Amino acid sequence: MKFQLKIWRQANASVAGKMVDYTIDGVNPDMSFLEMIDVLNEELIRKNDTPVAFDHDCREGICGMCSMYINGRAHGPQKATTTCQLMMRHFTDGETIYVEPFRAKAFPIIKDLVVDRSSFDRIQDVGGFVSVNTGQVKDANNLPVEKEKADMAMDAASCIGCGACVAACKNASAMLFVSAKVSQYALLPQGQPERKIRVQKMVAQMDAEGFGGCTNTGACEAECPKEISISNIARMNREYFSAGLLQD
Amino acid sequence: MSILDSKIPEGPLETKWEDYKSHMKLVNPANKRKLEIIVVGTGLAGGAAAATLAELGYKVKTFCYQDSARRAHSIAAQGGINAAKNYKNDGDSVYRLFYDTIKGGDFRAREANVYRLAEVSANIIDQCVAQGVPFAREYGGLLDNRSFGGAQVSRTFYARGQTGQQLLLGAYSAMKRQVGLGNIEEYNRHEMLEVVKIDGKARGIIARNMVTGELERHFGHAVVLATGGYGNVFFLSTNAMGCNVTAAWKAHKSGAFFGNPCYTQIHPTCIPVSGDYQSKLTLMSESLRNDGRVWVPKSQVDCKKRPQDISEDDRDYYLERKYPSFGNLAPRDIASRAAKEACDDGRGVGESGLAVYLDFSDAIKRLGQATVQARYGNLFDMYHHITGENPYETPMRIYPAVHYTMGGLWVDYNLMTTVPGLYAAGECNFSDHGANRLGASALMQGLADGYYVLPYTIGNYLADEIFTKAIPTDHEEFEAAENKVRERIEKLLAVKGNQTVDDFHKKLGRIMWDYCGMARTAEGLDKAIVMVRELREEFWKDVRVTGQNNEMNPDLEKALRVADFIELGELMILDARNRNESCGGHFRTEFQDEGEAKRNDEKYAYVAAWEHNGVDEQPTMHKEELKYENIKLQTRSYK
Ligand SMILES: Cc1cc2nc3c(=O)[nH]c(=O)nc-3n(C[C@H](O)[C@H](O)[C@H](O)COP(=O)(O)OP(=O)(O)OC[C@H]3O[C@@H](n4cnc5c(N)ncnc54)[C@H](O)[C@@H]3O)c2cc1C
Ligand code: FES
């Protein structure tokens, strides 16, 4: 297969970037999108050009590191798929493919396709945990958890923190990410003691990081590679309001 | 006296750890605040250690090369974590887990460490549940278990096919809490490139800020390495792209001995290689072998037929045939070799002939598709995504791939390396799995080291350091270490050769896979050692690294890692050549009983701990004799 690639190149945060054209030939349909970029990079290095910088690590769709915006969509055209698991067989031979970084005020560009998502980490710092020290605990089976609740918590906990939800949202809102964490704990007995304070702190930090508000367009759910449900956002809204009500 | 003192406490196996904890030295809370600890790596081992040490009151700095601590490679573990809870009432116990682990490791691990591991395993599950890890549960609300290779009891806890993710996010959440409280300072996108030693003790590291290229100096009263395994020395493995040996290798070059470098685990169930462009291999969790049946055609002529068209009678369920009592759940090394044997015999399937079937049709008939989907849905989806084939309809094709490294930095009972104050935890140490690791026990070991072992043993060391003031980083040893790193980087950038870093990495991988992979011979290893040495020379003459140091430069990062992998490769080959026996993942073709590994306990019941003497010098091997006081050495049989 052969493709025209238009890739965002930007040397660092303080210079302007632009789309640059490349042609790549001999692409095997069984290659992943990142393997195609690997091949391109090898060619660039051989020509003494600078390879394209991009984030990636596990290449199994679980670490959340890869983060490309392909043909106007976070992680590209394939549903429920991260860029690293996106196979070239899903593109049409001869196609022009646009590759950009995730764009959001709270995700500043570092280089080429690499962005800074440390805002996600800082949201977790303020409340994304159960306050329990190592060793202070009782036998695990002394705390039965309804299977249905445990499964729902697991659904929410499957979030890989890649930021596709933010990139897909026209407001660059982080509601899906934050609500997945809030939901996981709200659904489990372990999360109850800090239930109110958690949601309040995490939402406050989310706002402080410069993420936008949610207008219920649902783009986040549609583009989430792990199909995290938008119902988590509804749950978080309920949690947030009841936390506020109960405080006054 | 040997230089190697494993510092195993006296007394009966069952009480060693309790006694240790009761008698170790303590640091009072006021002093803990003055003690700084560097933790390199935020996977299960590092994340758990950092959180726990910070909870205890130490000042902790963490480092990782990813953009967030949550992305450490532990995240990719699928299948589960072992613990001797005996919730199933099927006869499990601390002793049985201990025994299975020692036997699974082909009697090449240290009894005392493994017993401690089995002992603390139950606490891990309690801890993770308390953190809100959503393990799989039964309808009654209690925790569910599954079986894993090498065990006849059901002791594996899991969270769908994403156990590593959930455990790591648990450890990460504990870390996050400590970051919020100001007890942990995080340095993400930082790669450790040197250990700093002052007066013989580890006192800090040099790390490269991967965004700016700046070399930074960091002091610690103690340094913990939890930097994962080195499977990427083979280029293709199931490890994440960034997994590397660099941190451990720098420690090795600074005086930490390297234990059993040749012990590599080749995992039997991975998606086969599809082309030259391939950047990594994808594991299909071993848990699949609970319900999937492994087979190849009985006859070579059937290999190109569609699997549906091969009748039951013409199939060879070779694991069930050869190992009736463990069947498809035979340990990994054995299952991998059996797959290789079938393919060497010309009965491999798929285009390359380097694959065997993993078939779920019986399970789907027996349990229904919904149940199979609930158990393995995400794994099936992953397979479908990658290969474009639907495993509910046609059997998966699998082949062995490099997965885990049992070898690593040699540590004593305290998890301290031969450099005082330098610790190694998780996959980067050599300690618990002998010559072969059982499924679901790496997660157990990482968390055991991080939550339950290091926090105690490090206190025992730091109790004598309370009068050591933080050493300013303008100390000459920091200066020297930083210069060493800078020179190496400048040297790499100056080569300006014609081959890419990946060209070299692939060549190295090829040599390692061909001669130091699933089957090894003296002759092959002798050849390989020459090849790797030549490759090293060629690398430093002809590698092309683009860009500069003072910027984000993934090409340079890779080059630094590959340079270390080449040096490591040489040591692995030497170690494999030295060990004239077969054990676990180390299979020397000359030493076998009709395909089964043939150990030589008389001569090789020891850990080979290698001391570095310079890149062009022969390393010195030190032996830690393995004394089995509680277990009788036996031929490992799964028949
Ligand atoms: C695909 C896959 C599936 C697996 N499934 C299972 C399973 O089901 N059950 C099981 O028990 N085991 C499993 N394993 C094995 C297990 O996941 C690993 O052995 C274990 O997670 C390793 O944890 P760790 O904390 O030692 O290291 P890792 O999780 O690899 O973490 C290493 C850390 O070190 C950091 N680091 C590395 N080098 C540097 C450096 N130079 N400078 C700074 N930081 C550095 C990294 O950033 C990272 O934070 C699996 C492994 C793989 C590959
Ligand atoms: S590289 Fe890990 S999710 Fe894509």
Same domain, A32 and A135: no
* Reported CATH class of domain B267-401: alpha beta
Question: Taking CB atoms and an 8 Å cut-off, how many pairs form between chains A and B?
Answer: 218
Report the predicted TM-score, pTM, of the whole model to 2 decimal places: 0.97
Q: Is the dihedral of CA B94, B424, B169, B230 positive or negative?
A: negative
Partners of B216 in the beta sheet?
Answer: B207
What type of residue sits at position B72? Answer: A
In chain B, what percentage of residues exceed pLDDT 90? 91
Q: Mind listing the pLDDT tens digit for each residue in B321-330?
A: 999 989 999 8
Domain boundary among A89, A111, A133: A111
Model confidence band, residue A246 (pLDDT cutoffs 50, 70, 90):
low
* Alpha-carbon gap: A213 to the closest alpha carbon of chain B (Å): 24
Helices (H) and strands (E) in chain A, counts: 8, 7
B89 C-beta neighbours (distance < 10 Å), count = 8
CA distances (Å), origin B305, targets B311, B340, B348, B495? 11, 20, 12, 51
Q: Mind listing the pLDDT tens digit for each residue in A85-99?
A: 999 999 999 999 999
Q: Which residues contact B543 (CB under 8 A, 6 or more apart)?
A: B492, B495, B497, B499, B500, B501, B504, B559
CATH 3.30.420.40 fits B476-625, yes or no: no
Q: Where are the domains of chain B?
A: 267-401, 476-625
State the residue range of the domain holding A23: 3-111
Pocket flag, ligand 1, residue B442 (CB < 6 Å)? yes
- To test the pocket of ligand 2, the residue of A82, A102, A114, A117 to mutate (highest count of ligand atoms within 8 Å of its CB) is A82
Using CB atoms, which residue from A31, A32, A51 is nearest to B546? Answer: A51
* Alpha-carbon gap: B108 to the closest alpha carbon of chain A (Å): 30
CATH number at residue A195: 1.10.1060.10
- B99: its two tokens: 């025994």
B332 is annotated as an active-site residue: yes
Distance CA B622, CA A203 (A): 56
Which of left, alpha, beta for B165 (phi over 0: left; psi -120 to 50: alpha)?
alpha
Show residues of chain A in contact with B551, CB under 8 Å: 11-12, 111
Using CB atoms, which residue from B123, B173, B455 is nearest to A124? Answer: B173
Q: Mind listing the pLDDT tens digit for each residue in A100-124?
A: 999 999 999 999 999 999 999 999 9
Distance CA A187, CA A195 (A): 10
Distance CA B495, CA B488 (A): 11
To the nearest 10 degrees (0 to 180), the angle between helices B163-180 and A118-127 is 70
Distance B81 CA to ligand 1 centre (A): 14
Q: Is the dihedral of CA B545, B550, B551, B552 positive or negative?
A: positive
Q: Do B165 and A81 touch (CB under 8 A)?
A: no
Q: Mind listing the pLDDT tens digit for each residue in B2-37?
A: 579 999 999 999 999 999 999 999 999 999 999 999
Q: Do B279 and A59 touch (CB under 8 A)?
A: yes
Are the C-beta atoms of B61 and B216 separated by less than 8 Å? no
Pocket flag, ligand 1, residue B66 (CB < 6 Å)? yes
Distance CA B47, CA B451 (A): 9
Of the listed ranges B129-143, B333-347, B598-612, the one predicted with least confidence: B333-347
Number of domains in chain A: 2
Q: Mind listing the pLDDT tens digit for each residue in A53-82?
A: 999 999 999 999 999 999 999 999 999 999
To the nearest 10 degrees (0 to 180), the angle between helices A231-247 and A195-208 is 110
- B254: its two tokens: 């600074």
Same domain, A106 and A124: no
Query: Does the structure show a pLDDT above 60 at A248?
Result: no
Label the pairing between strands B422-424 and B396-405. unpaired
Distance A66 CA to ligand 2 centre (A): 5
Same domain, A14 and A85: yes
What number of CA atoms fall less than 13 Å from residue B95's CA on the CB side? 6
CATH number at residue A59: 3.10.20.30
CA distances (Å), origin B361, targets B347, B371, B422? 21, 13, 51
Domain boundary among A111, A127, A161: A111
ipTM of this predicted structure: 0.98
In chain B, what percentage of residues exceed pLDDT 70? 100
Distance CA B141, CA A151 (A): 11
Q: Mind listing the pLDDT tens digit for each residue in A169-226?
A: 999 999 999 999 999 999 999 999 999 999 999 999 999 999 999 999 999 999 999 9
Distance CA B583, CA B597 (A): 6
Pocket flag, ligand 1, residue B41 (CB < 6 Å)? yes
Query: Does the structure show a pLDDT above 90 at B152?
Result: no
Pocket flag, ligand 1, residue B209 (CB < 6 Å)? no
Same domain, A91 and A122: no
Query: Does the structure show a pLDDT above 60 at A247?
Result: no
